[in-house]
Structure 1
Amino acid sequence: EIDTSSFYTTFYKEIDSHIKDVSLLDIIPILGQYNYQHCSCVDSEVNLVACVTEIMKVAQWK
Structure 2
Amino acid sequence: GTYTFTLGYHELSGTKVPLKKPMLVMKKTQDKQANDSTGCSHSGAELEVVGIIRHRILFKTRPKALIS
Bigger relative contact order, structure 1 or 2 (CA pairs below 8 A, ≥6 apart): 1
Question: Structure 1 length as normaliser, TM-score?
Answer: 0.23
* TM-score (normalizing by structure 2): 0.22
Larger % of helix: which?
Answer: 1
Tell me which structure has the larger Cα radius of gyration: 2
